[in-house]
Structure 1
């Protein structure tokens, strides 16, 4: 792949100088390769870059290798590129790394890769794979150790936005809310009722696919469209997500990731290659300003099986809140002043509905077998797969992949049960201010 397709020689040099913290260097060679492996993200083109660099030019020159990961707007896949462009996620992510994220306090627990160069169509980041990080597995449910690491990192990330707001409030002597300071970065671009955002078309597709799939649930087959499970009511229930993800007037809001599935987190492992010891979150194209409980509950629903989540929920929520408090305390703030435990615990119950909706929406497609996905993510089939009703494919995967069937239908049944439990109440009834 020609390096001219990625960055200019001067741009590579800027990235290298920032990475090595010296101007006394020059680039000898640049090698670019496409990220391989399992199906990756859907909102970018991912490249790995190796640079041979000569340093200490003015004293004792030596050569070393520098590794970067480059994320850019897809160039060779029109449908995917249109999805990225319409979602406005790429300018959001590049803007976050070039402005807001640079304001976050340094932490003992980094939550994202370092960024070394930003261009409107490209990000140059640490190559986490080079640093021995890896994905846990696109179809894999996370165990307790993985969840603990991610929740700790998430708490540090969330705490950072509170710290920035409170530091700014001290300077100006008036309340500070980051969504007001950065409205072009912290707007909702995932669940927004506007078809100019192709992410909304994806959401419609997921809703139609789930509504069609209710018939696959043995428990509700006989009640379809009658009394207990009305499909139109079911769709209306899911579409509450448009309201759910908005900033709250009751709970403290934070800068939130918004897209916490397994392909957006990389783990580093101990010498046994099994015990995770570090984690980095990636892909910040769907960041929003919302209560932290949305990130927490959607992460747990998307990445853990129901029985495991229910058995460990109190431990996970307590751990997250303790880590949030520790990070705030390191910077002179008390969690009790911003998100006390009773309020946070209540918000997790309120926003559990987000997790119930998120998980099956995601899993109508992103836990399908790799061969099924690769066949349908081609430029010719991408739009039909991403924006059409996937019911027939869901039915096929349920027939041919027992793990897919077990996971998706368990989540779908939990969503139906959530709807039936809350039928007399809207989300606004449970989330409004006292």
Structure 2
């Protein structure tokens, strides 16, 4: 059914407009259209992904024109649509429309958003980008490439604000683009949000109860800080906050090493937030590296590199980092973002550190239960049966505990 619905959206007119937009000419003829799933496995919690390839003739030459498709699931096929107001595909389309206008190199180009259901994007493999890093095991070069792209993303935000305020001094991104920052899961306004938050606390307690370094006081403080996290994520006007990607795990980060220079591109902008730049930096580092990597490498080198790159990107557009976002403000935001990021890191890694085959089975057999009511039960089973998972998740939670102890 999914393929049939997809084909109905890809009318001849839509296909011709896509090709014309990419080639900047109407002088072509479509010979063949090929739609291929990204893989046989489930690809997303809210949609499925496809490669779209056209074989065309133009000026007596045979050419191929490629795109990448993100096709939104039916409203009853994903828990993320349960409350009926999570237009996460519309959010991504609106954001990528902006980045495409600015011709950024750290996000895919948007060619169309068809029927409020189908995102037609640049096929990043044509620029040499792939997802080829083992989950949670970025190396030093991967981290520096990711940090550089974050500096570009944040500079883009300040350029956007600068341009908008030249036209309207009272411009507010939270008012103009309110759809960007609507929290999907970590909030208490919807049934999904309430169930997700309860499942997270229950699974945290399940893990903490088995850790010898944990105690009642630590567990109580972590529960308290999780409630603070919900407030921290709410969008509030602040000159030192930026558009945050919000979901920087390895499957949303692509790398290219063409010409021997590592580059990074971010994909999947459905969980955008409005947070300090330090949030995405810390997320990238904690969510995509091992605890051993973080012990071996001083994270301050990444913060310094970020600010250097951020300043360079701002200088290109005539802005001064010392005015826009002073170093002391940036360094202070690292401290305020640390515990929220570690909480999110532990939440996400309680899934990602599972054996991939078993995780895929849980998703296929009990998708909603894994995210909500059955999560703690599943994690308890993993702790009891997989010593490798137990050791790895304990190490991540220990990083959180070490920070929490400083607050007691």
TM-score, structure 1 normalization: 0.85
**How far, CA to CA, are the matches of 2:56 and 2:194 in structure 1?**
44
2:247 aligns to what?
259
User: What are structure 2's unaligned runs of at least 5 residues?
Assistant: none
Match for 2:122 among 113, 116, 126? 126
Q: Deviations over 1:364-408 (max 9, x none)?
A: 113322211221222x51111121242333233345545433332
Shift of 1:95: 2.0
What are the equivalent positions in structure 2 for 1:184-199 lying under 5 Å apart? Answer: 184-196=179-191, 198=192
Residues 248 and 280, structure 2, Cα contact 8 Å, conserved in 1:
yes
Shift of 1:230: 4.0
Higher helix share: 2
Residues 261 and 299, structure 1, Cα contact 8 Å, conserved in 2:
yes
Higher mean alpha-carbon deviation, 200-209 vs 330-339, is at: 200-209
Shift of 1:290: 2.0
User: What are structure 1's unaligned runs of at least 5 residues?
Assistant: 424-434
**How far, CA to CA, are the matches of 1:276 and 1:393 in structure 2?**
42
**Residue 45 (str. 1) matches residue 48 (str. 2):** yes
Shift of 1:47: 1.1
2:209 aligns to what?
215
**Residue 144 (str. 1) matches residue 143 (str. 2):** no
What are the equivalent positions in structure 2 for 1:19-418 lying under 5 Å apart? Answer: 19-36=22-39, 40-56=43-59, 61-75=60-74, 78-79=77-78, 82=81, 86-98=85-97, 100-104=98-102, 106-107=103-104, 110-119=105-114, 120-129=116-125, 131-137=127-133, 139-172=135-168, 174-196=169-191, 198=192, 201-220=195-214, 223=215, 225=216, 228-231=217-220, 233-247=221-235, 252-270=240-258, 277-309=262-294, 311-378=297-364, 380-418=365-403
Shift of 1:324: 1.0
CA 1:306–1:19 in structure 2 vs 1: closer, same or farther (change >3 Å)? same
**How far, CA to CA, are the matches of 1:341 and 1:229 in structure 2?**
32
CA 1:164–1:305 in structure 2 vs 1: closer, same or farther (change >3 Å)? same
Shift of 1:133: 2.1
Residues 87 and 199, structure 1, Cα contact 8 Å, conserved in 2:
no
Residues 174 and 237, structure 2, Cα contact 8 Å, conserved in 1:
no
Aligned residues: 403
**How far, CA to CA, are the matches of 1:388 and 1:214 in structure 2?**
18
Q: Deviations over 1:192-212 (max 9, x none)?
A: 22224x355334322211111
Aligned residues: CA RMSD = 2.6
Residues 245 and 294, structure 1, Cα contact 8 Å, conserved in 2:
no
**How far, CA to CA, are the matches of 1:39 and 1:368 in structure 2?**
17
CA 1:12–1:401 in structure 2 vs 1: closer, same or farther (change >3 Å)? farther
Shift of 1:188: 3.0
**How far, CA to CA, are the matches of 1:421 and 1:335 in structure 2?**
31
CA 1:325–1:93 in structure 2 vs 1: closer, same or farther (change >3 Å)? same
**How far, CA to CA, are the matches of 1:126 and 1:52 in structure 2?**
16
